[in-house]
Structure formats: structure tokens, C-alpha cells
A and B are shown apart, each in its own frame.
Chain A
Amino acid sequence: MRTLLIGVILAAVASAQWVNYPTPGLPRTQDGKPNLAAAPEPSFFGYSSGKWEGDTLVVQTVGFRDDSWADAGGSPLTASGKVTERFRRPNYGRLEIEITVDDPKAYTAPWTVKLNQRILLDSELLEFICVDNEKNRSHLVGK
């Protein structure tokens, strides 16, 4: 804690342009002070824990943001959502992921989809930075 405070002071000295700049997303009390006793920030990826059931890895995730999208089309996912993923690798090159969305705020019953993924061999991830901030959005159209 003391180290953090020293860090804050050092930061203020080194980059004065951010002094008194309100941190986005910081929970606050009614008088505007930081509310350090608030619940943690919900997150895009939530909080996941897993366990093995035989050859299947069962992962449960909660703690999503209330404004999440469950797919690119916009199926809602809310802070009440619980997602269960069951990962099974039936052979070397395939991965089945059975996904159950249980979100009583958005849906009247849990629903399940199954993804079939193929392994990518002799390749590697490339760096992707959403570098062109806000350069796409102005070109998108809606109604």
C-alpha cells in the first residue's frame, strides 16, 4: 500500500497532466470519493475455474459485464450469466467445446451450443493490436 502511494506520488511528478484526472470505471460513493469496498468490476472475460470430469475439462465462468455480447450478432449476456464450457479432445486434430449459457436475466432457460474446432499446425499466433482506434467505427452504418 505504501509502495502504491509512493507510486502515485512519483507518477504525479513525472506526468503531471494526469493529476486529478478521474479514473474511468472507479467505483465511487455518493460524494464522489473512491469506494474501495465496492464489488469488483465485472469483466468481459469473467472469472473462470475448471475441473476435470474424466477426459472432459469443465470450465465455469461468472462475473461478466451486464452489457456483454455472447456473439457478434448481439445475443445479450448479462451480469447474471453463468457460462459452462465442456472441452473434449476426441482426437489429435479436433476439439469439441459444448457451451451452456445460463443467464436467467436474459433467457427463460439455459441453452447449449457445440463448437467443433480444428487444430492449426505449424503456425503461431500473430500480434494483433486494435491499433486503428475508432478508425472503423465512423464507417459503420446502423438504423
Chain B
Amino acid sequence: MTWHLARLAGLAAIVSGQWVHYVTPGIPRTPDGKPNLSAPAPRAPNGRPDLSGIWKAPNGKYLFNLAADLKPEEVPFQPWAAALFQQRQDNLAKDRPTGRCLPHGVPDQMGVPGYPFKIVQTPGLVVILYEEMTHFRQIFLDGRTLAKDLNPAWLGYSIGRWEGNTLAVETTGFNDQSWLDDPGHPHTAALRVVERFRRKDFGHMEIQITIDDSEAYTRSWTVTENFNLLPDTDLLENICENEKDFQHLVGK
């Protein structure tokens, strides 16, 4: 809830802020000057699709349940993971990391509809800037491989490669602290996430996300999320101020 109100406050900033009505360069427009969001996806100088831009989930569907497209009994929990998920539900998800200004993880940060994210694409590196809490991810496209023994991190370590017009990103090296979504689908440090980014046209991107964590789930499972481009605006600074929310949260 606070996120969404914060976004409304953000709209105020857009109305009267530093970059009011600043027109994002390079966006195709209709004759009346409006962004043409169904124009073809742009290409980078190297011929690959250019994913750069500010993107936002259209709603909180997958934040509120990453397994929203599965029936509850279809989520392939290991027994302990099912029990932990139930425990988090019973406790109203009070111990969600973001309640203490700790990060969302991969993939749920992208699914937060109140906070957009910005993709900055270069030939060897794709950077994702998350508005919420000013976190970032680096996706290396320079041919490096993922090390076996990585210092566990909230957002892990990402490498990517182009498969035709799709950017396939593999991420490992997670800690076991982040939640896969707000209700708390769990994962372990064995988590491997594969994201397939496909910019369908100028204003729309699809990301297919596969959760592969054999310690928490009996098989890998996949969701497909869609995102909308936000034209003619920019990210706002967002700093999570310590411990001001947590005292207001209730559990059982």
C-alpha cells in the first residue's frame, strides 16, 4: 500500500518536477505527438533488439502471487517449503524482507507495479536500475561464466546471451533470504533463475521467468509476465528509511 501511495506522490513530482513534460528522445510518435507504443521495437547499433527504457508491471498480479497462473496444488513445493509458505501466510507475511527495508529479489522486484525499473543496454552489459530502494542489477554479456562459489547476494549474479531477438539471462549465487513474491514463496541458495526478455514492440515487453530450485521445489516452474514502457518520465529517488514501517506491521 505504501508503495502505491508513494507512486501517487511520484505522480506529483512528474507534474511539477525537475523534468516536467520532458520528452524522452527517440520515442516514435503519432502525428499528434503521442508516443506510438505499438511501433516496432528499436534496434541497438549491433542489430540486437534494444531493451532500454523504463518499464513497469501493469498490476500486482505476480508480485502478490508468482504462481498466480498455477492452481495451488500445482505449485511443486518440497514439503518443508510448503510448510514455510503456509507459516508465512498464517503470519500475514509480516516478516517479508521489504518490511525492514531489505531488498526484493529476482524476479519479484520487477513485478512491483508501484515502482518502475530502467533498463540500460550496452553491447557487453545490461544494467537494470530499480526505482525501489535504488537497487541495481548487472547482466554481463561479455562471455564470462558464473562461478561455482559465489558470495551469496540478494540479487545474485547474472550473465546473459542473445538467442535471436530474446535476451536469455541466467542468475545464480543467491542468498536464501529473499522471497520470490510478497506472500513468501520460498527459495534456497540453490536457486537458479532464467529470464527471457523479449521486447514485442516499442511499448511492450514479455519476460518469461523460470524458477529452478531443486531444494525448494520438486521441478522447475515458469511464469510469463508482461511489462509496459513508461514514456516521457524518469525514475525518482527512493530511499527506504530504516525501521519506520516495521513497527506498524502486524502478524500472529
Contact = CB atoms under 8 A, between A and B. Distances in A.
Given A17-B92, A23-B2, A40-B16, 5 more contacts: A11-B60, A34-B8, A38-B12, A133-B102, A134-B243
Contact of B1 (A11, A40, A41): A11
Q: Is the interface of A mostly helix, strand, loop or mixed?
A: loop
Given A7-B113, A44-B237, A129-B103, A36 B12 contact: yes
Contacts of B243: 133-134
B15 A37 contact: yes
B119 to A, nearest CB: 18
Interface string B99-111: 0111100000000
B13 to A, nearest CB: 4
Interface stretch (A24-32, A67-75, A77-85): A24-32
Contact of A37 (B12, B18, B100): B12
B138 A21 contact: no
A40 to B, nearest CB: 4
B71 interface: no
A20 to B, nearest CB: 8
B153 interface: yes
B242 interface: yes
A124 B136 CA distance: 14
Nearest to A8: B4
A123 interface: no
Contacts of B11: 1, 4, 36
Interface stretch (B162-170, B194-202, B214-222, B244-252): B244-252
A37 B93 CA distance: 34
Contacts of B248: 17-18, 21
A112 interface: no
Most buried by A among B1, B100, B113, B244: B1
